[in-house]
Structure 1
Amino acid sequence: MTGSSTDVVAHGAVKRLLIAIDSSASSTRAAQYVRFMAVSGAEVRLVCVAENPRNIVPLGALTDAELQNARDEIHRDAADALQSAKSVFAGSKIAVQSDVIDLSRHGGSTGNALVDAADEWRADLLVVGARQHHGLLRWIEGTVSEFATTNAPCSILVVPASYEVEIPESPQRILFALDGSPTSLDAMRFGLQFASPGTHLRAIYVIDRAVRLTDLFPIRVLEDAFVEEGKAVLANAAGVLVDLSNPVETGVVSTEPTSDDVSHTIVREALRWRADLVVVGTHGRHGPTRWILGSVAARAARITRTPLLLARP
């Protein structure tokens, strides 16, 4: 790394945060998490997507008057959700605006609407709350999750409802998951801007030991290759972190030999180390001695119990 830690932060500072809001406590929790992460002078836009009632009720089941009443109720719920989230930023010096996106006029899906909003507003970060397996914030579930992860023009921060610890003013323990690609180092640099001087930083490389029928090489050969690459990856990470005054550590972790994968290992390590932010790049390299970071990131977003930053290159 060239320059100081402040150079890293200034280079990619997040100034425009788009937060997806619905009527759940999960999205309010997401707003609370980023309340203290937003830097001075940042802009926050709260967006609530109002469903098209025609997509909820079978076509023809509602009269025009009933359809309008349903639309009005959906909009009132959206406005209430936005007001609740907006109160999170009361007293801050952050510029906050809020908008309802009406799918009956916008068209498309909720995922399309969020991606379009992030693109049109030139957001640096899209923030969503999520509760796995129950559809609360449904935007990060199923096809919407895959669509947003693949098509969002900016980095994405997922704040799971299962993250119930007291939210610090800035992350105190940040875990970086690396795969050896330039993208994962870019993700590390991006994530560093959310660190304060006292934040503990840990960079890990995951050795995928899980045996699969599709493996083309003996597992021992793959493990040896992983170990060598892991050493090189963490040496590069140390070079990025060397100028920082923060407490820093690196380590190699492994999946279980069977019935395991890299994304579950990252989630477990985040819990074991008590991380309050995990940073993963959204694109990685593909090969017999590397895991595909893009698919790992999408899978981790569905199961994470720690706020997860999916960082774009």
Structure 2
Amino acid sequence: MAATKSVKLLTAACLAEFLAMLLFVVFACGTAMGIDGNRASQTSSGGTGDSSETGMTSKLPSWIIMLSLAFGLTITVLVYSTAHISGGHVNCAVTWGLVLTGNCPIIEGVAYFFSQMLGSLCGAFILLAIYPASMDMTKGVGSNGLAEGWYTGNALLGEIMGTFLLMMAVLQTACNPDSASIRAQAPVAIGFAVFMAHAVLLPIDGCSINPTRSFGPAVAAKIRYGGESEAFKSMWIFWVGPIIGASLAALVYKVFRALADTPATGKGQLEENEVADQATV
């Protein structure tokens, strides 16, 4: 089991989680606010025809790649920047998975959760000051929501799978004792996992895989747009899906460790104050 930090170190870790979550919302969700993700606005460059007139010029519009990169790269930067202080969770679903596997003490996990939630709120409020309502292309401060034509089951299963991929990357690259030799590259693997999850889920629900990321922008959207905002309409999906996904990944990790006949935590766990501490995102 991971040892609980001293009050001084825990304070520093909570501050790191708060700041990382704030920056994640500002730069990742902020990128979404400046991009027109409407498929109908994308037309082909030459001539006319069915695809040009409907705007359906690609099965994977460029805005999806742009946003996926923004979220993946932002997480990579923040994990590298805070892993030696807090472990670089930046996601309450990841914190939950680390608690389940014994890589994060419960008290520490609770403190991280509130720090992340506060960071998400502050980041979203900063976005309200950066982007006036008329310039917000998402019309929701980058909050998540079920897109037209998709069903609740599509989004829920997608969130479970996306978070499973992320949590698996965290546990196997940043926590597994047998992956100590690649520990410094863990944030890159985590960033790629976030990128891939967004590539699949952006057209469906805007991709959460991070309940804390969804919460702040939803509150800000409700404040700005009032009754017009549907930011909380499907909010349960962005909590239940990631929690289930992280829990399943934690279970699979424990099964692998049991089959390897070694503890779920141990000599390979990241040391405090190293570039890739316990686990990330």
User: Which TM class, normalised by the smaller chain length?
Assistant: under 0.3
TM-score (norm 1): 0.23
Higher relative contact order (CA 8 A, sep 6+): 2
Q: Which has the larger radius of gyration?
A: 1
- Whichever structure has more helix as a proportion of its residues is 2
